[in-house]
Amino acid sequence: MRSTLHDPVLTADHRLWRAVLEQAYVDAESGPDGSDAQADDGDSSHECLRARCYLRGDSKPDAAAVVAVCSFAEVPADRVLNWARRNYPRPLMRQPASQIKSTSASQNTLAIGAIEARNNRARSCEQASA
């Protein structure tokens, strides 16, 4: 018999944020050759490389976004980051600085948007209960 005392209650919000993490995983696995998911080479799509960088938390904004999404999903962020770093080693080639700046800015915008959405939802819940 399975105990329900320790099972987390998955609300619609938790399922939504878990779907965000799942989509990042799907994007990270969407390389041109599914059998070679370990290599971050030049043949991988931009979305695949970007998702892997995001899940690994390669930059401060990426790491902050992953931690925020994991918090919203009630998933341990350290486990997600460690798993991604084991399964998706960093690429040997670096992106040009212009691409890194634009990518970091867009990820920072996503993280800020996620936090604002969470705050807006909390405010609306407070107003509804008042």
Residue 46 pLDDT:
86
- DSSP code of 58? -
Phi-psi region of 14 (alpha: psi -120 to 50; beta: other; left: phi over 0): alpha
Q: What is the pTM of this model?
A: 0.58
Write out pLDDT tens, residues 46-96.
Answer: 889 999 999 999 999 999 999 999 999 999 999 999 999 999 988 666 555
Q: Band the pLDDT of 128: cuts 50, 70, 90.
A: low
- DSSP code of 65? H
User: What are the sequence ranges of the domains in the chain?
Assistant: 12-129
**CA-to-CA distance for 40 and 19, rounded, in angstroms?**
24
Angle at 72 between CA 88 and CA 129, to 5 degrees: 170
Write out pLDDT tens, residues 24-43.
Answer: 999 999 875 544 444 445 55
